[in-house]
Chains A and B, each alone.
Chain A
């Protein structure tokens, strides 16, 4: 049975969210994030969704590309236009990780993804999900944000070089997943996190608290930051803005960005 992420299949499952009206589906695309950013710059409305069966230039960390196979993963980007200052939306990457966590658990309660600060979803230490958030903002006002999510769903194998670090939901559970069901669950939880960030005064604190509950590595793990090797020590939780803290030989230091590597 085909499991294509067609708009007319997804839309009815997304009732009550901001994502029902404008779903764009591509069989193959360079990068859903790039397309979404261009569309947002051209005026596309909040809630516009870009989904691809395959990406030819999906962007991973730095210059890395995201491994993509036809109709096996979820490659999805959404446009948001929150009436918030840029500093208030920094936690969106963390909130998106929570949305992925919730979507996976909604379908398989026994699977417990581990969130790695700031933007990776892991299963048994291997990456199955990546998040890339891009924003265009004035000093005090966000114009638009594109949240991009890549999930390895039904991959049964990976290229040699990725095997030690990548996995898929299917490889972890031994069963084929419905991408439609997972994608709908994902967009619904993302909508829930986003609405709460807009409307609930305590949403920010709740995101930080829940992220720390679902991340085994934000506290007490011996790590260093790949791009800043001098940031080296035991993780000491997130600060009130969502930045990772590391207790180094020089004292408590804050990590604004970078890749956490375990010792």
Chain B
């Protein structure tokens, strides 16, 4: 099991609201247990335990260690998923490279703390020289940026967390 598969697994577990999950495949045993805090605004923090025996150890040794909320790097879907329904997440509609500003050296479209309008451009995701303007689909305040400038991102990856205006 590689890091990507593990990440997808964690995302699935979060998405489906599964509290505890165990998988055994060959020499690899994965156990994901989510500490769901009922207090408002507490993010869901899954605990991931990867046990390996034999040759698979090297590969899975690089498993991401989800942690409490942290600065934008590294992108971690787990920390982004919020138990707080009031927070909104903007995702990428395409695979590509994330750009925070319209051209190299120019200021970013938005930064945490900014108040954005519905339809305001938040960033550009580029693939094969196709520049995709990602707009905000809510009006509100940017709480967090979840990816770094120049970083490759996957389809559906979370980019920004926004607290919608009341």
Interface residues of A (CB under 8 A from B): 62-63, 85-87, 89-94, 117-119, 131-140, 145, 227, 241-243, 256-258
Distance (whole angstroms) from the CB of A79 to the closest CB of chain B:
14
Instruction: Tell me which residues from 65 to 106 in chain B have a Cβ below 8 Å from any Cβ of chain A.
Output: 91, 93-97, 103-105
A137 and B97 form a contact (CB under 8 A): no
Residues of A contacting B104 with CB < 8 Å? 62-63
How many residues of B are counted as interface, with CB atoms below 8 angstroms from the partner's CB atoms? 23
Q: What is the CB-to-nearest-CB distance from B64 to chain A, in angstroms, rounded to a whole number?
A: 19
Question: Binding site of A, secondary structure by majority: helix, strand, loop or mixed?
Answer: loop
Give the interface centre of B94, B135, B155 by most chain A CB atoms within 10 Å. B94
CB pair B128 A94 closer than 8 Å: yes
A26 to B129 Cα, complex, angstroms: 25
CB–CB A134/B130 < 8 A:
yes
Q: Which positions 125-166 of chain B face chain A at CB distance < 8 Å?
A: 126-133, 135, 137, 150, 152, 155-156
Give Cα A145–Cα B155 distance, bound, in whole angstroms.
19
Q: Could you tell me the distance between the alpha carbons of A182 and B81 in the complex, rounded to whole angstroms? A: 52
- Say how far A98's CB is from chain B's closest CB, in angstroms: 13
B119 to chain A, nearest CB (A): 9
| A138/B137 contact (C-beta < 8 A), A63-B105, A132-B131 known | yes
Closest to A118 in B: B128
Instruction: With A86-B132, A135-B133, A136-B135 as known contacts, state yes or no: A257 contacts B126, CB within 8 Å.
Output: yes
Closest-CB distance, A117 to chain B (whole angstroms): 8
Q: With A62-B103, A63-B105 known to touch, is A134 a contact of B128 (CB < 8 Å)? A: no
Q: Show the binding face of B for A, using Cβ within 8 Å.
A: 91, 93-97, 103-105, 126-133, 135, 137, 150, 152, 155-156
Residue of A whose beta carbon sits closest to that of B121: A136
Q: Given contacts A62-B103, A241-B95, are A256 and B131 in contact (CB under 8 A)?
A: no
**Chain B residues near A243 (CB, 8 Å)?**
95, 127-128
Closest Cβ–Cβ distance, residue A173 to chain B (whole Å): 27
Complexed CA–CA distance, A132 and B131 (Å): 8
CB-contact partner of B91 in A85, A89, A139, under 8 A: A139
Is B93 within 8 A of A85, CB to CB? yes
Contacts of B133 in A (CB 8 A): 134-137
Shortest distance from the beta carbon of A238 to any chain B beta carbon, whole Å: 10
- Name the distance in Å between B153's Cβ and chain A's nearest Cβ: 9
| CA distance in complex: A87, B155 (Å) | 8
- A256:B93 contact, CB within 8 angstroms: no
- List residues of chain B with CB within 8 A of the CB of A136: 132-133, 135
